[in-house]
Structure 1
Amino acid sequence: MANHPPSHYLDIGQLGEDLVTQWLQSNGWLILHRRFSCRWGEIDIIAQYPGGEESGLAGKEYLTQNSTLAFVEVKTRSPGNWDAGGRNAITPQKQAKLWRTAEIFLAQYPDKADYPCRFDVAIVSYQPISQLQTQIKSVQDALFSSSVAGYKFHLQEYIPEAFDA
Structure 2
Amino acid sequence: MRKETGRRGEELAALYLSRLGFEIVERNYRCRWGEIDIICRRGNLMVFVEVRSKSTERFGTPEETINRTKVSRIRRTAMEYLREKAAGRPFNMRFDLIAITFQKGQGNIKHIKGAF
TM-score (ref. length: structure 1)? 0.64
- Separation in 1 of the partners of 2:3 and 2:36? 20
- Separation in 1 of the partners of 2:101 and 2:89? 33
Question: Is the aligned partner of 1:12 residue 2:15?
Answer: no
Shift of 1:68: 0.4
Shift of 1:42: 0.6
- Separation in 2 of the partners of 1:100 and 1:88? 21
1:22 corresponds to which of 15, 18, 21: 15
- SS of 1:162's equivalent in the other structure is coil
Size of the aligned set, in residue pairs, is: 116
TM-score (ref. length: structure 2)? 0.89
1:41 corresponds to which of 34, 47, 62: 34
- SS of 2:91's equivalent in the other structure is coil
Which is higher, the Rg of structure 1 or of structure 2?
1
- Separation in 2 of the partners of 1:15 and 1:113? 32
Per mean C-alpha deviation after superposition, the further-off stretch among 10-19 and 117-126 is 10-19
Give identity over the alignment, percent. 30
User: Tell me, which stretches of 5 or more residues in structure 2 are unaligned?
Assistant: none
- Separation in 2 of the partners of 1:117 and 1:77? 27
Shift of 1:25: 0.5
Q: Which residue of 2 is the match for residue 59 of structure 1? A: none
- CA deviation vs aligned residue, 1:28-70 (integer Å, no higher than 9, x gap): 00000000011111100000012xxxxxxxxxxxxxxxx1011
Shift of 1:158: 0.1
User: Tell me, which stretches of 5 or more residues in structure 1 are unaligned?
Assistant: 1-8, 51-66, 133-150
- SS of 1:11's equivalent in the other structure is helix
2:52 corresponds to which of 62, 75, 81: 75
On the 8 A contact 1:36/1:45 being kept in 2, the answer is yes
The structure whose residues are more often strand, as a share, is: 2
On the 8 A contact 1:107/1:113 being kept in 2, the answer is no
The runs of at least 4 aligned residues of structure 1 exceeding 4 Å deviation read: none
